[in-house]
Amino acid sequence: MAGILVWAETHNNAIRKSTYEAATVGKLLGRPDDDMAAVLINDLDLAQSLGTLGFSKVYTLEGEIFNQYASEAYCEALAVAAEEMHADTIILGATSRGRDISGRLAARLDGVLISDITDIKTDADGIRFVRPMYSGKLLAEIRIDHQPAIITARPNVFASGEYDVIEADIAPLAITDISIKTQVNQALQAAKGVLDIGEADIIVSGGRGVGGPEGFKAIEDLAQALNAAIGASRAAVDSGWIPYKHQIGQTGKVVTPTLYIACGISGAIQHFAGMGSSRFIIAINNDPESPIMKKADFAIVGDLFKIIPVLKEEILKHRS
Amino acid sequence: MNIAVILKQVPDTEANVAADPTHPGKIVEDTLKFILNPYDEYAVEEALVIAEKSGGEVIGVCIGSDRAEWAIRTAMAMGIHRAVFITDPEAVESDIITQAKILASIIKTLDVSLILCGRSWIDLQEDALAPALGHFLNIAHVSNAGKIDVDCLKATVIRELDGGTLEVRVTLPAVISCSKELNEPRYPTLIAIKRSKNKEIKRVTLSDLGMTPGTPRSFVTDLQTPSSRGKGKIVTGDPADMVKEAVQWLSDEAKII
Ligand SMILES: Cc1cc2nc3c(=O)[nH]c(=O)nc-3n(C[C@H](O)[C@H](O)[C@H](O)COP(=O)(O)OP(=O)(O)OC[C@H]3O[C@@H](n4cnc5c(N)ncnc54)[C@H](O)[C@@H]3O)c2cc1C
Ligand SMILES: Nc1ncnc2c1ncn2[C@@H]1O[C@H](COP(=O)(O)O)[C@@H](O)[C@H]1O
């Protein structure tokens, strides 16, 4: 059967949000219900639950080579499933693993890659995929003239929808022939409770205006009250106030949260490249002329150290 | 140890990139300032450091139109030794996977043990080059490296992964994409810039490589400027009043709390 294959990305034995989003993308392609299969690697106890996302078939692979993330093995697992079902479309979340797999997979399957899509348009001209280019300065519509297509979906854009509950048919597969040239020495997990900025629904970010590493305490406080992840501008990262993995922008991460709160950040074009497509932006800045104040949906003019503690209290009060 | 670095020229990060009204799917290029892809600078720096330690040449490999020679010269001013440059329009305009295939066939003609590239191309915003090169060269790839230690036949690489980091050991040759965390790229000195003008750029064509351009696999049919943000609310005055208004907005308009 030709059809759509979705990578069921898991983490700590749970299905990741990116998997739901990829399933939504599959649905949006408007094909018959039984056209969509998932591929699940290890965590096989989750196979049945994928039926509730509308997958009629779940290809499973397991083995020690998948215990730690290894690009070549994961790519090959997806390739084997795609070949088994003659998939014409393979969808992954544009998570760090999804991005990593998709490039190699597209090469491996002689496919065409469309990364980081944020929308799908369907009309008389057929299907076009929409994705930001040039740091979000332009949105491109892309038509595909080749199969298979490997599509990655920007996190936090495609909501998990209503799926038909289907009894998934489970089909075990195996990788027969692969020499893996990567050995994983160790995998370090981020501390528990630390949210990844790539997938967070709310991000509170600090910039040079935060003034120093101690200043990030205020950012952390607000983030905690909102169950948000912590972001930063390059100025804050380059000053050594916070690790690089928090950097948002051109040379950091691109994020699409529902709410982005920029504190003491001027809103340089390179920063905007990373957060400009957030659903809502709040800016806290003592300079009303800072570029971010003109881009924000809600701009608070004032000293962030005076505003943030009050804001945090007021949010906690509102919540209770 | 010889190292290949993939180079790409992209519009400057500050540039106002606009859709070309007369050529659907294309941007207006005449007035744009172009730079070496910022992530490629980390790859160049890392290659130079490794080559300085181990001895060996750093060879740039670039697909681009003639103007991309400036990106190559910039990397040469930083210190890379020579470069291979392919300018066929079919190559320049092809998708990233096809470009990886072309780059791989050039790399096969070089005697290199390591291939470095930037984590992402900031114009097309694609992170697929290293993974695709890994496949075409039948070697390991590591994306988004924050630390690289090379010994004679292997490299230990730390890369970021959602929710943590991964330390891997790869057999060389391998292809590694470089993040900002790796290093601080050097600024070319004036004398280095001068010297770079005489370094060798070897031009090759698709037919030299025995490759025929395939038909394009995807088309940008339209480029739009995203609806501009702004016309938001700006509040000034007493912190308590501003915060009250903000929380009201969060709950009524944004419906977040
Ligand atoms: C190739 C390239 C790539 C880049 N990549 C990135 C990137 O990925 N991410 C990124 O962020 N930048 C990036 N930059 C840098 C970017 O151009 C800016 O320099 C940077 O974003 C500025 O950071 P900032 O807003 O924190 O600092 P500033 O521009 O210095 O702004 C600080 C702001 O804080 C406000 N402020 C000060 N004190 C207070 C206070 N007490 N209360 C409230 N507000 C206060 C000020 O009014 C000001 O608006 C890149 C640049 C280049 C050239
Ligand atoms: N688009 C360009 N046009 C002319 N010269 C350039 C261009 N890009 C880079 N250069 C040269 O490359 C070197 C470094 O450029 P820059 O990093 O822009 O300062 C300088 O010697 C410039 O002359």
Ligand 1 near A283 CB (within 6 A)? no
Kindly give, in sequence order, each residue whose CB lies less than 8 Å from that of residue B49, ignoring residues fewer than 6 positions away: B183
CATH code for the domain defined by A4-172: 3.40.50.620
Residue extents of the structural domains in chain A? 4-172, 197-319
Written as six digits, the tokens of B247 are 């929380």
**Best interface-test mutation with B: which of A16, A138, A278 has the largest number of B CBs within 10 A?**
A138
Block means of pLDDT (10 residues each) for chain A, 320 residues, are 91 92 94 89 93 91 93 97 97 96 98 97 93 95 96 93 82 88 85 78 98 97 96 98 96 95 98 96 98 97 98 94
Residue extents of the structural domains in chain B? 3-209, 227-257
Distance CA A186, CA A68 (A): 8
Give residue A195's pLDDT: 77
Nearest CA-CA distance, residue B198 and chain A, Å: 31
Nearest CA-CA distance, residue A169 and chain B, Å: 30
| Atom number of ligand 2 nearest to Cα B35 | 8
Written as six digits, the tokens of A229 are 């992840």
Cis peptide before B24 (omega within 30 of 0): no
B196: which strand partners?
none
Ligand 2 near B8 CB (within 6 A)? no
Q: How many Cβ pairs closer than 8 A exist between chain A and B? A: 277
Give residue A192's pLDDT: 65
Distance CA A205, CA A288 (A): 18
Q: Give yes or no for B162 touching A (CB within 8 A).
A: yes
CB of A132 within 8 A of CB of A116?
yes
Give residue B233's pLDDT: 95
Block means of pLDDT (10 residues each) for chain B, 257 residues, are 98 95 94 97 98 96 98 98 97 96 98 97 95 98 97 92 90 97 96 96 98 91 90 95 97 91
Give residue A193's pLDDT: 65
- In this predicted complex, what is the ipTM? 0.92
Give residue A196's pLDDT: 82
Specify the amino acid at residue A207.
G
Nearest CA-CA distance, residue A272 and chain B, Å: 11
Indicate if A197-319 has the same CATH topology as A4-172.
Answer: yes
Write the DSSP string, B135-186.
HHTTSEEEEEEEEEEE-SSEEEEEEEETTEEEEEEEESSEEEEE-GGG--PP
Burial level of A233, CB count in 10 A (0-12/13-18/19+)? buried
Which overall architecture, per CATH, does domain B3-209 show?
Answer: 3-Layer(aba) Sandwich (3.40)
A153: which strand partners?
A93, A117
Burial level of B153, CB count in 10 A (0-12/13-18/19+)? exposed
Judged by CB atoms closer than 8 Å, whether chains meet at A190 and B130 is answered as: no
Give residue B231's pLDDT: 82
Strands B233-235 and B174-178: unpaired
CATH code for the domain defined by A197-319: 3.40.50.1220
Give A70-88 pLDDT, tens digit per residue. 999 999 999 999 999 999 9
Closest residue by Cα to atom 6, ligand 2, is B70
Give residue B257's pLDDT: 87
